[in-house]
Amino acid sequence: MNERERILDLVKKGILTTEEALVLLENIATEKDEKLIDNEAKQVNYKSAEEQAQTGYNDNEALEKILEKLAEEENRKSVEYDELTVEIQGLRQDIREIEEQLTVFDTMEDLDTLTPEKEAEREQLKKDLAYLKETDVQLSNEKAELNEELKSIKKERRDTQETEKILGFDIPKDWKEQTNEKINQASGKVEEAGKYFGDFLKKTVDAVSSTVSENVEWKDVNIKVPGVSSHSFTHEFLYPNSTATLIDVKVANGKVKFKTWDQPDVKVVANIKFYGKLNNNTPFEAFIERSEIVVDEENISFQVPNKRLSCELDFYLPQHLFDHVSVKMLNGDIKVEDMLLGDVFLKSTNGKMKVKNIKATMLEVEGVNGNIQVEDSEIVDFIGQTVNGELISKSVIEHTNVSLINGTVKITSNDLKTKKIKATVVNGDIKVSLAKQAGIQADCQTNFGSIKNRLDNIDILKEKKERMNQMVEFVRQEDDMIQLSLNTTTGSIYLKDND
């Protein structure tokens, strides 16, 4: 018996009224219509889902092909980028090596040792350097463009992957709810775990700190700060029974010292410091590659023009006459002691130069920044000049000719062998002390300073004491006369007899 028949039977038995039966029958009809509509809708939705799935499959397949193509393009560009990077690195290494070699040639030019062959080689290196730098710019531009292309490809690939995710997943409502619930549960567990891990980490750090404090003496801990690598060594060159009389030393950086000893041999103690990488060489091998050392029967030659080397050279020489000594440096001090010499030429761009207890026919000293000192020596002709520094002479010198830009000249002569003293200074004082028995023919002048004369027994021939021009000419007649010529622009002149 169906529902309609049961309702009619209940009316016959008087359990339901006619109105109630009509209402129930209408409800049954409505329910059937709704079920029919739902069934038809489900069929339609099922067909639509199938069609959508098929469409999504086609879209995903197309996206996969696009992603595969983008990945291949990215790999190819990455290989090109890496190859360019390696090529540029090698190119810049070549540039650095050429620049270093050019620096050596420039230093040789400063030290007056640049031969015509080396000059031609330097010009060719300059051309090579210009070409390499131009190539470096071109490759760097290509690398930058390639980098932009890589960025564009990566962005397109990310966008495509996002599109694939959007098209490939249709998240049901109930799955979202379940997922949110699981995520909330997981968040709680993560929060709890994070709190636990934080406590654990804090305890661990405290324990380590305590252990370090108890077991490490901080005063013994050395912290290395990055800097230029350097390598140092000491080497002794020994040349037995040397008869050489010509010395030629040219060093870019360091110190050079000459003295005699009671041996017939020539000994050179070299303290070398090398800055930079050694390229698998030992420090000594690197020094030999960058220097030229020749010692034979006539010559002692040490040429170290490389600016990456700092050389402290101590020469121990036999006690005989050396006809010619030449020392040139860019940065460093020069000292010559206890030697019998012919002509001596000393030059240092930045450094002090000192000569003590020598006998020489001629001494020429040239500097830029640094003091010049000549003590306890016997010299026929002395020529000295510097830009910034002090020049001090306390020796027996027949002819002195010195000039300074900024600094003070101090000359002391205690003997009667002195024949001529000429000193010129732009900014600085001139102080001269002479023997009381020496005759003097003097011409002194200053523009912005004054002349302080404490010499005895002089006859003033001419004198001017204007505000911006002071001068004096005087004479002291004796058998041994000194020609004195002193001139300073902004300093003063001080004259006196030795005590």
What's the CA angle centered on 85, arms 82 and 86, to 5 degrees? 90
Residues 4 and 427: their CA atoms lie apart, in Å, by: 132
- Looking at per-residue pLDDT, the higher value among 216 and 82 belongs to 82
**Tens digits of per-residue pLDDT, 211-244?**
334 434 444 444 343 445 578 999 999 999 999 9
**Tens digits of per-residue pLDDT, 59-77?**
566 666 676 776 777 777 7
Same domain flag for 163 and 17: yes
Residues 374 and 409: their CA atoms lie apart, in Å, by: 12
- In degrees rounded to 5, what are phi and psi of residue 219? -70, -20
pLDDT reported for residue 255: 97
Same domain flag for 31 and 73: yes
What's the CA angle centered on 379, arms 373 and 383, to 5 degrees? 60
Same domain flag for 76 and 194: no
Residue 193 lies in a domain: yes
CB 244, CB 295: distance < 8 Å:
yes
Same domain flag for 38 and 163: yes
DSSP state letter for 241 = T
pLDDT reported for residue 174: 44
Helix (H) or strand (E) holding 183: helix 173-215
pLDDT reported for residue 408: 97
Same domain flag for 79 and 53: yes
Residue 397 lies in a domain: no
How many domains would you assign to the chain?
A: 2
Residue 290 lies in a domain: no
**Tens digits of per-residue pLDDT, 2-11?**
666 676 677 6
Same domain flag for 33 and 95: yes
DSSP 347-376: EEEES-EEEEEEEEEEEEEEEEES-EEEEE
**SS3 label, residue 236:** strand
Residues in a beta bridge with 339: 358
**117 is in which domain, residue-wise?**
1-170
Residue 138 lies in a domain: yes
Same domain flag for 79 and 186: no
Average pLDDT of the chain is 80
Residue 90 lies in a domain: yes
Closest among 379, 387, 439, 430 to 408, alpha carbons compared: 430
**Tens digits of per-residue pLDDT, 240-277?**
999 999 999 999 999 999 999 999 999 999 999 988 77
Same domain flag for 21 and 145: yes
Residue 315 lies in a domain: no
Q: Stretch 94-107: mean pLDDT, rounded?
A: 80
Q: Which of 168-182, 219-233, 260-274, 381-395 is the least confident region?
A: 168-182
- Looking at per-residue pLDDT, the higher value among 7 and 378 belongs to 378
Q: Which of 103-107, 297-301, 372-376, 395-399 is the least confident region?
A: 103-107
Q: Stretch 373-394: mean pLDDT, rounded?
A: 96
pLDDT reported for residue 85: 82
Residue 35 lies in a domain: yes
- Looking at per-residue pLDDT, the higher value among 27 and 331 belongs to 331
**Tens digits of per-residue pLDDT, 397-429?**
999 999 999 999 999 999 999 999 999 999 999
CB 486, CB 445: distance < 8 Å:
yes
207: alpha, beta or left? (left if phi > 0; alpha if psi -120 to 50) = alpha
Name the pLDDT band for 452 (thresholds 50, 70, 90): very high
Residues 10 and 16: their CA atoms lie apart, in Å, by: 6
Same domain flag for 127 and 199: no
Residue 189 lies in a domain: yes
Q: Which of 141-150, 175-184, 403-412 is the least confident region?
A: 175-184
Token digits of residue 130: 């210009």
Same domain flag for 63 and 138: yes
Residue 255: is it exposed, middle or buried by C-beta count within 10 angstroms (0-12/13-18/19+)?
A: buried
